[in-house]
Amino acid sequence: MGISERKERQRKEVRESILSSAWELVNQDGWLNLSIRKIADAIEYSVPVVYDHFENKEAILSEFNRRGFQLMTENLAEAKARQTNHKQQLEDVAVAYWDFAFQNKEYYQLMFGLGMPTCESLTKVPELSAFISVISTTINQIAGLPQDSTEIWLKIHSFWSMIHGLVSINLVAPPVSHLNMNPDEFNKAILKDFIKSFIKGLET
C-alpha cells in the first residue's frame, strides 16, 4: 500500500511550498518582513500547519542559512575546479565569493548581516566547514602550511575577513557619487589588489 508513501510525498510538498513561498516573500519584502502568518497565507493553509514542518521561525531561517552556505560553497568549488594553477584558483575563489554575495544579496545578508548571529549559531552550521575547507586546501597548496595549524587558520581568517569586509562595506555603503569610474570595476579592482597582496603574503 503506497498510502504512507503518498502522505510522505505530500508532507514534503507542503514543506517545500513553505520554503518557496517564504523565499518569494523575502525577495519581495526582505527578511525583516517575513512572517509565519504571511507564509501560511501564501501556502493557503492555516498558521499551525507551518509549525508541523518547522519548529519555529528561526528553523526556517536556519534552513535558508544552510542553503546559502551550500550554494556559496558550490560556486566556490566550481570556480576553483575551472583552474589548475593554485594561485589562480585562490583568485577565482575570491571573485566567486564576491559574485555570490552580490548576486544573492538575500542569502548573504541572512548569512552575515542579520540579527546578531552568536558564535554558537555559526558553529552549528555544518556547511560552514565545507566552505572553509575549499579555502584552506587552496591555501595549503600555495603556502604549504599544514592543515589545522595556527598559521593556516591565520591565513584563512585573513582571507575571509578581507573579502567579507569588502563585500559588506560595499553592500552597505557603495561608492557612488565620488567616482568617475564604473563602481563595479572600481570594486573588483580593489578585490584583485587585495588578493594579489594576500598571495604575496602567502609566499614569503
Q: Kindly list the residues in this chain that would bind a second copy in the complex (CB under 8 A).
A: 30-32, 109, 112-117, 119, 122-123, 128, 148, 150, 153-154, 157-158, 160-170, 172-176, 178-181, 186-187, 189-190, 193-194, 197, 200-201
Q: Which is nearer to DNA, 58 or 193 (CB)?
A: 58
Q: Which three cell numbers stand for residue 26?
A: 523575502
- Segment interacting with DNA (CB under 7 A) among 38-46, 64-72, 77-85, 108-116: 38-46
Nearest CA among 104, 82, 90 for reference residue 134? 90
Of residues 81-100, those binding DNA (CB under 7 A) = none
Q: Residues 56, 60, 66, 68: is their CA dihedral positive or negative?
A: negative
Nearest CA among 80, 71, 101, 88 for reference residue 163? 101
Q: Does 35 bind DNA (CB under 7 A)?
A: yes
Angle between helices 86-103 and 183-203 (to 10 degrees): 140
Angle between helices 183-203 and 150-172 (to 10 degrees): 170
Query: Grid coordinates 570594486 are at which residue?
Result: 187
Q: Which is nearer to a second copy, 49 or 117 (CB)?
A: 117
Q: Which is nearer to DNA, 23 or 160 (CB)?
A: 23
Nearest CA among 170, 42, 34, 54 for reference residue 102? 170
36 binds, among a second copy, DNA, none (CB under 5 to 8 A by kind): DNA
Q: Which is nearer to a second copy, 17 or 158 (CB)?
A: 158
- Segment interacting with DNA (CB under 7 A) among 44-52, 66-74, 138-146, 176-184: 44-52
Q: Does 52 bind DNA (CB under 7 A)?
A: yes
CB 134 within 8 A of CB 80: yes
Q: Does 48 bind DNA (CB under 7 A)?
A: yes
Q: Which is nearer to a second copy, 43 or 136 (CB)?
A: 136
